[in-house]
Structures are given as C-alpha cells and as structure tokens.
Amino acid sequence: MPFPAERPRRLRATPALRSLSAQEHLAPQRLVLPVFVKEGLREPSPMQSMPGVVQHTMTSVVDAAQEAVAAGVGGIMVFGVPAVRDARGSGADDPEGVLNTALRVLDEAVGSDCVVMADLCLDEFTDHGHCGVLDEAGRVDNDATLERYAAMALAQAEAGASLLGLSGMMDGQTGVVRSALDAVGRSDVVLLAYAAKYASAFYGPFREAVESTLQGDRRAYQMDPGNRREALREVRLDVAEGADVVMVKPALPYLDVLSDVAAAVDVPVWAYQVSGEYAMVEAAAAAGMIDRQRAILESLVSVQRAGATATLTYWATEVADLLRRG
Ligand code: PBG
C-alpha cells in the first residue's frame, strides 16, 4: 500500500473539483432580508451601529425589497419603528400603524415574488420596550401579552403578511396565534416560531435600529445562553402548538443548538444572523482586520452546515447578488 492510502486533498485541487464535492452551497433563495421602516421618515436614515443598514421610509423600503427580489432573495422580514409608543403597544395592531402599513405596501409591491414576513412582537411598540405588556409589579404578563399577540396576528395577516415571525418568547404564543388565525379562516398564514431565542448581547445594534427604550433586560423571557437542552423543549412545544418553521437565534454563537434542533424536528429550521454578528464583521473589516466578503460567506455557510434551511441576514441582498454573479 502506498502511503497515505487516502488523499482527501485530491478533491481540493481545482475550483471545479471543490465545487462538485462541496457539501453545502449558498443560494439566494435561502436568504431573508430583515428591513426597518420608520414612521414619518422622509429620507432613509443610516445607522451608526450597523454600517450599511438604514431605517427605511415607506418608499425606500419598497426599493430595497425590489432590489432584494431582483437578487433572488427569498423573503423580507419587516420591522416597524413607530413614532409614538405606549404601555400596551397600541401601534402594533392598528391597521394604520407603521408595520401594518408597510406590510400592505410591500405585499402589493413584491408579495408575489417573495415571502413578506412580519415580526410579531411588542417591543418596538411599547414605551417600556418589553416584548409584552406589564403587570402591576412591572413584570411581563405572559397571558395578557398573548391576547395582544393574537390581535397583532390578525392585523398583520389582514395587512398582507404571509408569514408571521413570533419573536416574543411568551409561553403559548404559537398556539394562541394559530387558533386566532384559524378562527377567522386564515389557516394559510405560515407561523415561524423563534423557538430558541436567547437573551443575547448580540442584539445590541438592533436596539438602535428600532430605537428601543428597553428598561431592564429580557432574561425573564428569553433563554439563558448556557442552556442547550432547553432549546429542544422550546422547539417541541412550538411544533406541538402548530409552528410551521422553527428558528434559532442568534446564529453563529449557537451552532450547537442549531444542529441539535435540526436533528430533532421534521419542520424546517431557520437561523437569524443578528445585528451584533453583522456589526462585528463590519467593524473588523473596516479596521482592516478581516477579509469582509470571505468572513460573510463563511459565516453563512457555517450556519447552513449546522442545519439551517434559510437564514435571516442583513447581508441578504449583497450576498444574493454575489452568488448570482458567481
Ligand atoms: C424582538 C426582536 C429582537 C431582534 C429581532 N426581533 C430584539 C430583541 O429580542 O431584543 C433582534 C434582531 C437583531 O439583533 O438583529 N422584536
């Protein structure tokens, strides 16, 4: 026997061989672009914490969505930044609220070319910045919040969202929203449960994006970063309650969780490459410390390798463009 008997390097010799033996390929249609629409904004407004990402006007968000579609992106996840907030997050289920208006406009513009998704959570709409309504002691009241989520779901479905992203981490949210939709004949609306959403420092830049006024933190409802097995419990509950897709969030720091979840369920598993993951690469690249493009592609293929069938990423349009141009 010649030594070494096996030579894995043989398949790495040329780009064509590498590509033919690649176990993962990124694809535009597996990417989802999150967008922020701000009420009353006249010009798109750049964000310091996320260079290259803007808060959109009702007009510029349509341009961004059309660009994403032209690049082959599979969906857009819409977040609203309201001009006025209150304790119960009234803007969230107001048909004329910024998010519902944006959903209507986007559904009309690109609804037949990509999946228009709505973030279903109260944090952008409450003046205290929590993902739900508070009880007298100032704690997030799970069951009172569920009623608000049901109302939001109906408003978002009515506005034209075909998928609702349940990101609030309230117990029972998937079941309550599913029942509310089914009761009005909207069994067609897809539910994406942010089943395993961790209380993460990597959401930092997002808070600027939505001008969050959060008092305190979200550790009483989002998951503890050390908890791996608990993700399977959350996922089991969401699937039992009717989740069509489950999400792991953040992405790169939680690849073990993603891999566990993908092995445990038979519904699609998506990942959210969050604002802090984006900001880290952008900052390192701007400082000349990292090859920006390679880092972006590597992080995305890693998330896919761990088990995600789709990834929400602020780089969606850029990466989709890049992939299409080869
Ligand atoms: C809640 C929500 C958050 C993000 C998406 N949906 C913020 C949070 O839970 O604190 C974070 C996304 C990101 O950081 O890119 N509506």
Judged by DSSP in three states, 5 sits in coil
Interface predicted TM-score (ipTM): 0.95
Q: Which atom of ligand 1 is nearest to the CA of 204?
A: 14
Find the radius of gyration of the CA atoms of the chain.
20
Mean pLDDT of each 10-residue bin along the chain, 326 residues long: 94 98 98 98 96 97 98 98 97 98 98 98 97 96 98 98 98 98 98 97 92 91 98 98 98 98 98 98 98 98 98 98 94
In this prediction, residue 213 carries a pLDDT of 82
The total number of residues shown for the chain amounts to 326
Question: How is the chain split into domains, by residue range?
Answer: 26-324
In this prediction, residue 215 carries a pLDDT of 82
Written as six digits, the tokens of 109 are: 């513009």
Q: Which atom of ligand 1 is nearest to the CA of 276?
A: 14
In this prediction, residue 1 carries a pLDDT of 77
Measured over the CA atoms of residue 256, residue 230, residue 244 and residue 145, the dihedral's sign is negative
Burial class (CB in 10 A: 0-12, 13-18, 19+), 156: buried
The residues that are catalytic are 197, 249
Other beta carbons within 10 Å of 137:
6
> Separation of 243 CA from ligand 1 center, angstroms?
19
> Separation of 199 CA from ligand 1 center, angstroms?
10
Q: Are 133 and 140 spatial neighbours (Cβ–Cβ below 8 Å)? A: yes
Domain 26-324 part of CATH 3.20.20.70 = yes
In this prediction, residue 208 carries a pLDDT of 85
> Separation of 6 CA from ligand 1 center, angstroms?
47
In this prediction, residue 248 carries a pLDDT of 98
